[in-house]
């Protein structure tokens, strides 16, 4: 999933999961799915597809997702419309556990 700037001009204080909650409408572009593989089951693969091996099993974003954040430097200031189409606070469920873990490691 591509998350945008959430309309911030500068990166705000706080956790990325908490601050950047606006994403692109399309959950994933066709052909850009990520693969997690068992090496013994795959002969040839790339990050986006198994070329030779057992068939893949697609997972929904509710099961597993990789967030990408488009929010660095000049790109942030000039592309507020990009990847900010939908509010998605689905990762909020991880915030309390994340804060607790960060506090343990502080």
User: What is the pTM (predicted TM-score) of this model?
Assistant: 0.71
Amino acid 44: pLDDT? 81
Structure confidence at residue 87 (pLDDT): 94
30 Cβ partners below 8 Å, 6+ apart?
A: none
Question: Domain coordinates of the chain in residue numbers?
Answer: 2-105
Tell which residue, 33, 62, 70, 73, has the closest CA to residue 49.
33
Buried b (16+ CB within 10 A) or exposed e, 62-85: eeebeeebbbeeeebeeeeeebbe
pLDDT tens, 6-57?
Answer: 888 788 899 999 999 998 887 666 666 777 778 888 888 777 777 788 777 7
């Amino acid at each position: 999933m591509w998350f945008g700037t959430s309309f911030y001009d500068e990166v705000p204080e706080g956790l990325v999961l908490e601050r950047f909650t606006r994403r692109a409408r399309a959950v994933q572009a066709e052909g850009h799915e990520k693969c997690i593989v068992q090496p013994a089951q795959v002969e040839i693969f790339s990050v986006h597809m198994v070329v030779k091996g057992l068939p893949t099993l697609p997972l929904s974003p509710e099961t597993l997702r990789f967030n990408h954040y488009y929010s660095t430097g000049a790109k942030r200031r000039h592309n507020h419309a990009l990847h900010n189409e939908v509010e998605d606070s689905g990762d909020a469920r991880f915030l309390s556990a994340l804060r607790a873990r960060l506090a343990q490691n502080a």
